Structure 1
Amino acid sequence: MEPLSGAAAAAAAAAGGGGASRPPSFASQTNALLRKNLIFQKRNRKATIRLIIVPIYLCVLLSVLQRVINNLLDKPKYKCGCMCVDVNGTGPCQNVCGIQYSTLDQAGSCPIPNPPEWPALLQVPHLEYRATQDSSESCRKSQSCPAAIPFTGANETLSTTVMQNMFTDSPLSNLSDNASISGILLGTDMPGTSTGFIEPAFISDVPIYVLQSECKSRNSVTLRTTIDAINVQKEIKCVQGLPLWRNSSRTINEETFKGYRKEKIGKGISEVAMAYDFQDSNEKRFNVLALYNSTYQNISYVPMPFGLLRVSRSLNAVSNAYLQFLQGQGSGIKMLLEFTKEMPKQATRLTIDFSSLIGPLFFEWVVALLFPLC
């Protein structure tokens, strides 16, 4: 046979292409897939019945188990505590329920219509984790490491002045109420809890720190105050707040990342109390970026209750310092954050919901295994 010419080959290719079959439509593919699955389930009838019965059986079993457990939890031991109190002073007592009459197991179920007002605190690193200026570990051994506060900005003079205004060296003996406490930088090395009803720093045995530009020897006092009918007696210790100028925000990020507990390099954990980037702030514009350590939020692969981050105090401190820069230290004009307060809470009941715990597993059984698509 002789080879075809170019025109003849093109004509033959066009003729052959015109006779090619068209791809099936979406409806045809869906119909074929459903028929395939039906045939597959028909051939595996026993396995299909087991896949349907086992989740139903477990649902019934867990429903009964949940009802039994909730009935056990629905006892006075886990309900808000009550006491017969002579409210009006006339003799007959009335049954009054509240957190003040409850045990630790009962307190979580009580309503809190007016949560207590707690002073806003800074998050200060632990003594053994505080960042040091050099490789020396002497301050950690003597427990005298300052709380490093790196900062940067386009205007170094303005940024330095604002940072210096953050610290007040007023005597600690003047502390008595929220108004005087909010005027200084109080902090704690305890992580926050999942709610703000109780501030763990005020009910624990660890001291509360106050950040000042310079600490005198043995600068420690005992604070006795009352916070919403709660008598508080805490030891207040001075910690030097050390502002450290950095050339850029990138340098701050690199230093803090190297000291991060999961990215520690060589010398171990090296944390800072807070950091600021004043960017293009000037006398007419206040534009600051506050950096904080989000690891105290307890975000990890292990399910844990989220912790509240103490960021509001650092934002208020730098805002008030900038206001002092504009108005002057002796103007008496301040913008203070006196307290933080949780939202009111209604009475709750302690229950266990199995559906929220094993819902994804049931979905996997019923949908993914019952209808295989490949």
Structure 2
Amino acid sequence: METSFNGQRRPLIELVNLSKEYNGQIVLKGIDLTIFENEFVTLLGPSGCGKTTTLRIIGGFEEPTSGNVYFDGKDIKSVPTHLRSTNTVFQRYALFPHLDVFENVAFGLRIKNRHNRGIRGFVKEKFKKIPLEVTLTEAEIEEKVKSMLKLVGLEGYENRLINKLSGGQMQRVAIARALVNSPKVLLLDEPLAALDLKLRQEMQYELKELQRKTGTTFIFVTHDQEEALTMSDKIVVMHEGIIQQVGSPTDIYNEPINRFVAQFIGESNIVEGHMIKDYLVAFDGQEFECVDRGFGVNQPVDIVIRPEDIDIVKENEGKINGVIDSVVFKGVHYEIDVKTDKRVYTIHTTDYHPLGTKVGITFEPSDLHIMEKENYAHL
């Protein structure tokens, strides 16, 4: 289900009823997805959910068992990888250790150059028999490579050997090499997974800025919710070969469609209850105002309350009373568990509360997100 739709841009990639089966095991089950020009789209889900298989089908590395793949309105299901306007950056960057940074980035340009000019040293002998399509002068190649290196923050690294680079620098080289040929789509298969936390966070912002500057459609695969929320225009949440929800980061976080999405994206308190009527829900033996409507009377529902949306107040001044059961300092906030008569609520707050303190908890009607109970998409 897609919760946001951008009607202003032209669809670039369309997956229609896409399925994939390996040795009798179905790994994709009727995928329907539209990706627009100049979008940063993240395929997000746990291992085995089908996100990498989807990426590989888009790139031409796998063929679907059934369904269609449209690129610019044309069915490309049978078009080989090298004839698609896509390039791919894998988790292992596959850089050439015997070439410097410049030649790694220039590699694709030289392969496409009909006259095969300017390939340094023995590289020329290796590639001179390959059929080539596009003519670029050496000056044009140099200009494109240097421009791309500047864009990815590697200006001045042209002559540096690959084994002299850090992990983040090698990733930038791989991205520059993939983008220098100006593909319409860049496919990224968990490229940040091998980096340490600080560098991974830096690269999230750099990738988003790079996508904005180039105008290339990025399709990014990850299991990391922070990466998806930080970089994406659109997130595609997948589980067991099925798209659970499609939407903006804000939509996915604030309006999860089912329990799986709510639990996978961020931390959540998920409470079972039932609707009394429009704008009124019951759980934990009480009735609470909410902003949701359209459910049946007494319909069972799941209620999502994010930890940051619950406030701790004095006992008897909130909606529910409880006692501080756990306090963990997380750096920017405390994670506090409040034990009530019915359950334990996890709360994120900047205020410290001692263990054993009797407190009340409160929340606004807009902080309650009501979902149909156990509504797993297509299941």
Please indicate, yes or no, whether the TM-score normalized by the shorter chain is above 0.5.
Answer: no
Give the TM-score category using the shorter length: under 0.3
When normalised by structure 2's length, the TM-score is: 0.19
From the two aligned structures, give the one with the greater helix fraction: 1
Bigger radius of gyration among the two: 1
When normalised by structure 1's length, the TM-score is: 0.20
From the two aligned structures, give the one with the greater strand fraction: 2
